[in-house]
Amino acid sequence: MTLTTDPNQFKFSEQIQVRWTDLDPLYHVNNSIYIQYFEIARGRYMLEAAPTWDWQKDMFLLANINCNYLKELKIATPDTRCWVRTKEMGNKSFILEYMITTNGTEIHTLGTSTQVMFDTKARKTIAMPQWLKDELIAYEKENSIIIK
């Protein structure tokens, strides 16, 4: 899967504050923290891209998450952002794509996560609701989501 490296292909980004506790002994962000940055941005993205989402009712599980580390990220680097977009949608799942940048152009990390819709009462996977597909398609740039 080819990952997007152009911030102009993303509509959503979340400012990330790098904390001292995010650093490892080499004084750059520890590899595990990037997944937390993805999680923070994913939550905010879903609130914006799918405004009718009911977190008490509708749920997804993470089936897969990938992170490609390209360049170290340090605490004092200005304008650290995590970009998120819906890359692909299937019957029961959707793939989000992430990019962490600084200064608007320097790419530090690329990643993806696969979310699978889940019925918490029946404890099984379910089809993506049509309203969710519609909201994600309406939010993203025209024809930018791969539909499977």
Give the pLDDT confidence score for residue 132 in this predicted structure: 96
Q: Does domain 9-141 correspond to CATH entry 3.10.129.10?
A: yes
Nearest alpha carbon to residue 127 among 95, 92, 88, 89? 92
Beta bridge partners of 106: 102
User: Do 128 and 117 form a contact (C-beta atoms < 8 A)?
Assistant: yes
pLDDT band at 16 (very low <50, low <70, confident <90, very high): very high
The domain limits of the chain are: 9-141
**pLDDT given for residue 7 in this prediction:** 87
Q: What percentage of residues in the chain have a pLDDT greater than 70?
A: 99
Residue 92 clears pLDDT 90, i.e. is over it: yes
Q: What is the pLDDT of residue 90?
A: 97
Residue 5: predicted pLDDT: 86
Q: What is the pTM of this model?
A: 0.94
Cα 78 to Cα 36, 73, 103: the distances in Å are 19, 10, 6
CA geometry: angle 114, 45, 41, nearest 5 deg:
80
Per residue in 43-89, pLDDT tens?
999 999 999 988 778 899 999 999 999 999 998 888 999 999 999 99
Which residues are within 8 A (CB) of 136 and not within 5 positions of it... i.e. 6 or more apart? 49, 50, 86, 89, 94, 145
Q: How many CB atoms lie within 10 A of CB 50?
A: 20
